[in-house]
C-alpha cells in the first residue's frame, strides 16, 4: 500500500494535526497548527499542512509555506524570515519497522510530498531546513541539494552537580561564585517576552545587522501555544531587567531560541552563564533530555556556547529549483 498525501486545514483540522505533532519524531512547538498559522500571517505566506497516511495510520508530517511576489514563487519550511526553529519533514510510527520497510516508507512519504508540492504549487524554488530527520536520501534522489549545518546540544543527564561539572572552569566559577542575594533568575511573563526580543533587536541594530522578528509575533506564540511551550527566562538585580533567554520546549528538548545577547548592564555578574545554567538545571529537573543551543556556525559565538561542553549535531538545508532565486526573494521581502 502506498503512502497517501493529504492536506489538512490549519484551523479546521488543528486538533488532529496537533495530535500527530505530539507523537511525531523530532518535532517542536513551531510544528503546532497555531504556530504555523502565526508564521504564515507574520511572513505573508500561505501554509499547507501535508500529512502522509498508510491506510488510516499517519506516517509523516511536512508543513510548507508558499511565498509569491511578482513572478516569483517559492516553497519553504520554515517560512522565510520567520525566525522559527527547525521544521521540514517528520515521521511517525517508523521506529517499530524493520530497516527495509522504514526506508521504503520514508522514501514514499518524502517523494509523495515533493510530488504534491510540484503538482499543486509549481514553485520555482524550494528551501527546507530539517533537524532530527536522518534519512535525506529521498531529497538527493530527486535532485535536491542537501547541505549540513550544525548546532550544539547539551545532554541533560546525571545530577545537577555532574551537569555543572562538565562545564568549562570559567563557566563553573561564574555560576558557583555568583552571589545569590545579588540576582534573581526566573521564568517571566508576556511582558518579559517583549523585553527579551527588544534587547536582541537593539543588539542586532548596534551591529548593523537586520532583525525581522517582531515582539508581537513572539508574544503571540507565548500566548497561543500550550503553557510551557515558550518560556521567558530573565535575570534581574534589584528589580532591574538585565537579560533574558526565550526558551522553546518540546517533549524532550529545550531550544535556546532568542536572547542571551551581550547585556548593556555594568554588573559583576555573568548574566548569560547564569541564564543558560538555570535553563539547563530546570530542564534536567523536569526530565528533559537535551538543550539545543540553536546554532554552531558563528565562530565568535561558538566560543561561548562551547563552554557548556556540548556535542556537535547536524541539521540540513535542502534546496531545489532556480539557482539564486532565494536572493531575489530576499530582496522582495526587504522591499515588502
Convert the pLDDT of each residue in 116-144 to its tens digit.
999 999 999 999 999 989 899 999 999 99
pTM: 0.93
In whole angstroms, what is the distance from residue 148 CA to residue 131 CA? 10
User: What b/e sequence results for 212-244 when a residue is b if at least 16 CB atoms lie within 10 Å of its CB, and e otherwise?
Assistant: ebebebbbbbbeebeeebbbbbbbbeeeebbbb
pLDDT for 108: 95
In whole angstroms, what is the distance from residue 205 CA to residue 272 CA? 20
pLDDT for 324: 58
Q: Give the pLDDT band of residue 85 (cuts 50, 70, 90).
A: confident
Q: Residue 56: is its pLDDT beyond 80? A: yes
Q: Give the pLDDT band of residue 336 (cuts 50, 70, 90).
A: very low
What angle, 0 to 180 degrees and rounded to 10, lies between the N-to-C axes of helices 190-206 and 215-224? Answer: 150
Instruction: Give the β-pairing of 72-77 and 125-131.
Output: parallel
Q: Residue 72: is its pLDDT beyond 90? A: no
In whole angstroms, what is the distance from residue 312 CA to residue 247 CA? 20
Q: Residue 187: is its pLDDT beyond 80? A: yes
Q: Give the pLDDT band of residue 253 (cuts 50, 70, 90).
A: very high
Q: Residue 53: is its pLDDT beyond 60? A: yes
Asked if residues 203 and 213 have their Cβ atoms less than 8 Å apart, the reply is no
Which residues is 5 bridged to in the sheet? 52
Domains of the chain, start order: 4-148+316-335 (3.40.630.30), 157-288 (3.40.630.30)
pLDDT for 76: 95
Residues 73-83 pLDDT 10s: 899 999 988 88
pLDDT for 197: 96
**At 147, phi and psi to the nearest 5?**
-125, 135
Residues 297-333 pLDDT 10s: 888 889 999 999 999 999 999 999 875 566 655 554 4
Average pLDDT over residues 107-113: 96
Question: Considering the chain, what percentage of its residues have pLDDT values greater than 90?
Answer: 77
Residues 273-305 pLDDT 10s: 999 999 999 999 999 999 999 988 888 889 999
Q: Report which DSSP code applies to 88.
A: S
Q: Which of 99-113, 124-138, 163-177, 319-333 has the largest mean confidence?
A: 163-177
Q: Give the pLDDT band of residue 335 (cuts 50, 70, 90).
A: very low
In whole angstroms, what is the distance from residue 239 CA to residue 79 CA? 37
Q: Residue 1: is its pLDDT beyond 60? A: no
Average pLDDT over residues 54-61: 94
**At 9, phi and psi to the nearest 5?**
-90, 135
Amino acid at each position: 500500500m502506498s503512502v497517501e498525501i493529504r492536506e489538512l486545514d490549519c484551523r479546521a483540522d488543528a486538533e488532529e494535526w496537533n495530535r500527530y505533532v505530539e507523537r511525531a519524531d523530532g518535532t517542536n512547538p513551531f510544528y503546532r497548527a497555531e504556530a504555523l498559522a502565526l508564521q504564515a500571517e507574520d511572513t505573508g505566506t500561505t501554509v499547507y499542512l501535508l500529512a502522509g497516511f498508510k491506510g488510516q495510520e499517519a506516517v509523516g508530517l511536512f508543513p510548507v509555506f508558499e511565498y509569491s511576489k511578482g513572478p516569483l514563487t517559492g516553497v519553504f519550511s520554515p517560512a522565510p524570515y520567520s525566525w522559527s526553529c527547525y521544521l521540514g519533514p517528520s515521521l511517525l510510527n517508523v521506529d517499530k519497522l524493520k530497516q527495509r520497510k522504514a526506508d521504503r516508507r520514508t522514501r514514499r512519504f518524502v517523494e509523495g510530498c515533493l510530488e504534491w508540492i510540484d503538482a499543486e504549487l509549481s514553485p520555482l524554488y524550494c528551501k527546507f531546513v530539517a533537524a532530527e530527520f536522518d534519512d535525506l536520501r529521498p531529497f538527493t534522489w530527486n535532485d535536491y541539494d542537501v547541505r549540513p549545518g550544525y548546532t550544539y546540544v547539551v545532554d541533560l543527564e546525571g545530577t545537577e552537580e555532574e551537569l555543572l561539572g562538565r562545564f568549562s572552569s570559567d563557566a563553573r566559577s561564574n555560576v558557583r561564585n555568583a552571589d545569590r542575594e545579588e540576582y534573581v533568575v526566573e521564568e517571566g511573563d508576556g511582558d518579559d517576552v517583549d523585553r527579551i526580543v527588544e534587547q536582541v533587536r537593539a543588539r542586532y541594530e548596534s551591529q548593523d545587522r537586520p532583525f525581522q522578528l517582531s515582539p508581537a509575533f513572539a508574544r503571540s506564540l507565548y500566548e497561543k501555544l500550550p503553557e510551557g511551550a515558550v518560556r521567558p527566562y530573565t535575570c534581574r538585580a534589584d528589580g532591574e531587567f538585565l537579560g533574558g533567554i526565550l526558551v522553546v520546549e518540546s517533549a524532550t528538548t529545550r531550544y535556546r531560541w532568542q536572547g542571551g545577547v551581550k547585556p548593556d548592564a555594568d554588573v559583576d555578574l555573568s548574566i548569560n552563564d547564569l541564564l543558560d545554567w538555570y535553563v539547563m538545571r530546570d530542564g534536567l529537573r523536569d526530565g528533559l533530555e537535551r538543550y539545543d543551543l540553536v546554532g554552531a556556525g558563528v565562530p565568535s559565538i561558538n566560543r561561548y556556547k562551547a563552554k557548556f561542553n556540548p556535542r556537535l549535531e547536524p541539521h540540513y538545508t535542502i534546496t531545489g529549483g532556480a539557482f539564486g532565486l532565494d536572493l531575489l526573494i530576499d530582496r522582495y521581502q526587504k522591499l515588502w
